[in-house]
Each structure stands twice: as structure tokens, then as C-alpha cells.
Amino acid sequence: MKSKLAAAAAARTLQKTRSAARGALLWGYEQRLAREVGAGGKLPRHLGLILDGNRRYARAGGMGREMGHSFGADKAHEVLQWCLELGIPAVTIWVLSTDNSSRDPEEIAHILSLLEREALNLSTDPRIHANRVRVRAIGQHSNFPGHVLDALRELESRTAHYDGMRLNIAVGYGGREEIVDAVKLHLSAQAAAGVTLEQATAELAPDHISAHLYTADTPDPDFIIRTSGEIRLSGFMLWQSVYSEYYFCDVYWPGFRRVDFLRALRDFQGRDRRFGK
């Protein structure tokens, strides 16, 4: 009996030693990546993040899907810190798409409650104010509950005068809907100026659409990361991403590590951007 207990204790000790060794190796690798990214110089002016895989992360861990979204919200806070440390000027995170509105109403209600909570937290987050982060919610929000809209407006109001990082929270967002909204705004402005529909359509140019996008005052994203292993855009910033570089990461969003983030940035730094030339 004693020999079995001793063997089990030895096995646990060996497992802990191996785990510690793996952790030390990963930490060392992460530090090397951080040095390489820092020395690489080129960082995105505008980073897009498609936060995919919350539900699958929860399912893989035997948890309810609501826990996946909660862990995903916590991860967004963590990644924001990484972006601030690197001095990335603009970040857009895609939290909820217009297509997601067809999901279970209870799931949508949970996501919106998380959105309200996070908006209230960000409005008082010392990092936001110390770094003068301007936060905006972009998308179509007319169907959101009033208390969620109030929290978003409070966050935007408190940070509207800041000149640091631009943080766009894409919620109730779809790329096609954004383009349609931009066209409507342009045509409405032309009509208000007394321009006929025929003249407005004859003179319509890409810059007219760009001027009315949700992110009109932010540079187009030069780098977009999507987690979960899915290799598609799903409508994220369709107009703005014409020359974006993409990086698809196999890990689910709540499991996205700093080492994954640094790997993506190192990959971006190694690319030769030709802008269609």
C-alpha cells in the first residue's frame, strides 16, 4: 500500500515538474517574441479583432454557452491591455453581428447584459482615462434595451474628448448594413443640399461612402485577426478591409494567449504590403 502511495506521489511530483518546465519554456518563448515584435518596429495603425469561438470554448470545457461569452468578455479586457502596452493607435473588436440576432433570445440577452456591464466598467476603468482611450460602439443599436443604450452612451460621453487610442466596439454590426447606412446618409445629405437624385448618383464616388462609414474618422484596418480557426470574413469591415492583412488563429477567443497575439504581430511585421500594386 505504501509503495502505491509513494508511486502516486512521485507521479504527481513529476507531473508538476513537467508542467512547471513547460510553463517556463512558454514564458521564455513569449519574452523572445515580445523582443522580436518590439524590434520589428512596424505595428498596425488599426487592428481589427473578430472574437470568435466563445460558445465552442464553453462546449469543449463542458460549460454552458453563457460562460463562454463571459470568459470572452474577460479576454477582451486582457487583450486591450496588450494593445495599450504596444501603443497600437486604433482597435476595433467585433462582439456581436447582425446575423447573431437570430440566436436564442436568452443567449442574446446574456450577451447584451455583458455589454452593459463592460460598458459601465470601461467608463470608470483607470486604464481608459490614463491612456485617454476614446471608445465608441458602432453598429445598429435601435433594438437594444434602453439600459444597454444608456450604458453605451455614458461610456462614449466620458471618453469623447480623448485623443489616445481609438477603441471601436462593433456590436449589432454587419459590414453590408454599414455600407447601406453610409449610402443612405450620403444621399440624404445630398438631398438636404438640394442635389437631385440623378446628379447625386452620377457623381457618387468611393470617398463619399467612406466619409459616412461608422469608422470614418479612423484609418482603415491594416491587420485583422480572427480566432477559432474559421477562415472567412463574415462581413467584418467589408469596405475598409480592401487592403487589410489577415491572420487566422486556431485557438478559441477565450483561450487566446499573449503568445498567440505576439505571433500574429510578428507575422504581420514580416509581410510585404503592396496595396494591389
> Catalytic site residue 52?
yes
Is 215 annotated among the ligand-binding residues? no
Alpha-carbon span 129 to 161, nearest angstrom? 11
> Catalytic site residue 100?
yes
Is 232 annotated among the ligand-binding residues? yes
Is 54 annotated among the ligand-binding residues? yes
| Catalytic choice (52, 125, 220, 222) | 52
To which residue does cell 454587419 refer?
A: 174
Is 233 annotated among the ligand-binding residues? yes
Is 87 annotated among the ligand-binding residues? no
Is 124 annotated among the ligand-binding residues? no
Q: Is 195 helix (H, G, I), strand (E, B) or coil?
A: coil
Pair 249, 230: CB distance under 8 Å: no
Is 110 annotated among the ligand-binding residues? no
Is 99 annotated among the ligand-binding residues? yes
- Write phi, then psi, for 226 (nearest 5 degrees): -120, 130
Alpha-carbon span 106 to 213, nearest angstrom? 31
Residue 30 in grid coordinates = 513569449
To which residue does cell 523572445 refer?
A: 32
Is 98 annotated among the ligand-binding residues? yes
With b meaning 16 or more CB within 10 Å and e meaning fewer, what string describes 14-52? eeeeeeeeeeeeeeeebeebbeebeeeeebbebbbbbbb
Alpha-carbon span 185 to 208, nearest angstrom? 10
Q: What DSSP state is assigned to residue 221?
A: P
Angle between helices 105-123 and 146-159 (to 10 degrees): 30
Q: Tell which residue, 142, 141, 143, 124, has the closest CA to residue 133.
A: 124
Is 41 annotated among the ligand-binding residues? no
Is 107 annotated among the ligand-binding residues? no
| Catalytic choice (74, 100, 125, 250) | 100
Is 220 annotated among the ligand-binding residues? no
Alpha-carbon span 14 to 49, nearest angstrom? 39
* Helix ranges restricted to H, the chain: 2-40, 54-60, 65-86, 105-123, 126-130, 146-159, 175-192, 197-203, 206-210, 258-269
Annotated binding site for substrate: which residue ranges? 53-56, 65, 69, 97-99, 103, 226, 232-234
Annotated binding site: which residue ranges? 52-56, 65, 69, 97-99, 103, 226, 232-234, 245
Catalytic residues: 52, 100
